[in-house]
Structure 1
Amino acid sequence: MQMFHMLNLSMYQWLWVILAAFFLGFSKTGISSFLMPAIPIIAGIFGGKESTGIMLPMLILGDAFALYYYNRHAEWGNIRKLLPWTIVGLALGVLVGNYVNDKQFKIFIAISVLICLFILIYTERKGEDFRVPQNPVLYALTGMLCGFTSMIGNAAGPIFSVYLLAKGFKKNDFMGTTAWFFFIINITKVPLQIIFWHNISLQTVFFAGSMIPAIAVGALLGVLFIKKLNENLFHRVILLVTAIGAIKLFI
C-alpha cells in the first residue's frame, strides 16, 4: 500500500521529489543548507512521519557520497563530545513522534526547520563575531538539539554546521566531521524508526534507490562547484524557498 502510494505520484510531485533528492545530494558535498528545502518538500508530499522514513535512506545514500570525498577529514573529539547527548535527543524525538498525529508531526517538522533557519540567519548576520563558548552545557544542548531535530525532521544540519563554523573549522575538516557525524546518527535512526515508527520498509529503501541518480548528480555538482558558487546569493534563495516550504506545513 505504501509502495503504491509512493509510485502513484503525479508528474508534478515526481519533479519535486527529484529536485529534493538533488538538493539532498548537493547538501552532503557542497552547501549544507541546500538540504533545508528538501525537508518540507518531502513532508508536503508524503506526510509528516512517513516523510522521515522516506528521507532517511536517501540521507544515508547522500552520507555515503560525502564519506567517499571527505572521509579522511574528521575531528573526532567534537563528535565524541556530542554523540551521547545526541542519542538523548533522538530518544526524545522518538517519544514525541509516538504521541502526535500527522498534522502535528508536520508542525514539529516546520518548527524544527524554522528554528534552524533562524540560527542560520542569525549567525550569518553576526559573521566572524559569532563564537561558541567552551562550556559542557553547550555540548549537551547542541547534542540534544541535533538529535531531536534530526529525529523529528532530519533538520539538524544547520545546528551542527553553526557549531562547527563557530569553532573555526576549515572547509575539509568541516565537511569530513559533518559527514561522519550524520552518517553515525542516520544509521542509528534506522532501527529506531523501524521499531517505534514503522515507517521504513523495503519499499522506502527501493524508493530511495530510485533517487540515486538525482542524489549522485547533486553530490558531484556539490564537489565541483563549492568553490565557485556565490554562496551568499544561493543561501538567500535557499532560505527563502525553505521558509515558504516550512510555512506551508502549518496550513
Structure 2
Amino acid sequence: MVTDPLFYAVAVPAVTLLGLAKGGFSGLGLLSLPLMSLVLPPVQAAAIILPILLVQDVVSVWAYRRSWDKRNVMILLPSAMIGTGTGYLMAAQVSDAAVRLAVGLIAMGFALRRIVLEWRKAPPTPIRADVPRGVFWGWVTGFTSMIAHAGGPPFQIYVMPQRLPRDVFVGTGAIFFAVNNWMKVPPYFALGQLTAANLATAAALFPLAILSTWAGVRLVRYVSGERFYTLVYLLLVLVGAKLIYDGLVPLLFH
C-alpha cells in the first residue's frame, strides 16, 4: 500500500475529480490520471484508479438507473470490447503519450467546432444514434479507456451530437462505462497491475470516491440542460489541451 503523504495530497483531488465526473460533470475525470502520474508511474496510477472507478460506477449507475439510452449502449459495447482487447494487445507497443496526443487533438477539434456553432445561435440538428459511427467510436473508446483511462472524449464525440436530455446523456455514460470498466479487469490482471498493494491503496480512497460521486450527482442537477452542454464542451477543450500537452512533451523531449 502506498503510504507517501505526497501521494495522498495528489490522490484526494484526483479522486474527487473522478467522482464529480461520474456524477455528471463529464470530462473532469481525465485530469485524474495525469495528476496521480506526478507522483507514481503512470501504469501504477492507472491500476489504482481502476478499482476506484468500479466503486464509483455503483453509485452513478444507481443514481441514473432509470435515465439512460439503451440503443446507444448496445451499439457501443460490442466494439468497445474489441477496442479494450486491442488496447491490451498493444499496451506495450503504443505509448501513453501518443494516445493522449491523439485523443486530445480529436477532443479539442470536436469541442471547438460545437462551441462555434452554438455561439452562432445555430445549434446543429440532433443526430440519431447510428451503427457505423457507434461501432467506430465504441472501438476508439474501448481502446483509449484501456490504454489511458481516456474513453470520455470519444464517447462524448459520438453521443453529444444527439443532444440527449442531460440526465439521459449522463446515465448512458454511467451504464456504458460501468460495463466497460469491468471489461478492463482481466487485461489489467494479465498485465500484472492489480497487485495487493495497489488494491489496498485504492480501497483506502473508496470513501472519498463514493462521497464525491454523490456530490457530482447532486450538483449537476442544478445546471440547466443547455448550460450543461456548453459546460461540457468547455471542459472538453480544457481536457483536450491538457492531453495534447501531456502527449507532446514526452514525444518532443524524450
Structure-1-length-normalised TM-score: 0.83
Distance 1:209 1:155, change over 3 A: same
Please state if 1:224 is matched with 2:218: yes
Offset from partner CA, 1:162-198 (integer Å, 9 cap, x none): 3222123112222221111100000111011111x21
For the residues of structure 2 that align with 1:235 and 1:214, how far apart are their CA atoms?
27
Find the residue that maps to 1:24 and give its secondary structure.
helix
Select the residue among 30, 43, 50 that pairs with 1:49.
43
Select the residue among 89, 99, 106 that pairs with 1:115.
106
2:175 alignment partner AA: W
Find the residue that maps to 1:66 and give its secondary structure.
helix
Structure 2 alignment gaps of length 5 or more? none
1:243 is matched with 241
Please state if 1:188 is matched with 2:183: yes
1:75·1:177 contact (CA, 8 Å) conserved in 2? yes
Aligned-pair Cα RMSD in Å? 2.6
1:113·1:155 contact (CA, 8 Å) conserved in 2? no
For the residues of structure 2 that align with 1:16 and 1:235, how far apart are their CA atoms?
26
Distance 1:228 1:149, change over 3 A: same
For the residues of structure 1 that align with 2:112 and 2:38, how far apart are their CA atoms?
24
Question: What's the offset of the Cα at 1:242?
Answer: 6.4
Offset from partner CA, 1:88-139 (integer Å, 9 cap, x none): 2112211221335xxx334434543453344333333334216546653212
Correspondence list, 1:4-153, <5 A: 6-10=2-6, 13-100=7-94, 104-127=95-118, 128-129=123-124, 131-132=126-127, 135-153=130-148
Structure-2-length-normalised TM-score: 0.82
For the residues of structure 1 that align with 2:232 and 2:71, how far apart are their CA atoms?
31
Distance 1:126 1:54, change over 3 A: farther
2:27·2:235 contact (CA, 8 Å) conserved in 1? no
Question: What's the offset of the Cα at 1:210?
Answer: 1.4
Please state if 1:199 is matched with 2:193: yes
Deviates more, 1:114-123 or 1:237-246: 237-246
1:71·1:176 contact (CA, 8 Å) conserved in 2? yes
Distance 1:116 1:216, change over 3 A: same
For the residues of structure 2 that align with 1:125 and 1:216, how far apart are their CA atoms?
36
1:169 is matched with 164
Deviates more, 1:209-218 or 1:71-80: 209-218
2:142 alignment partner AA: G
Q: Number of paired residues? A: 241
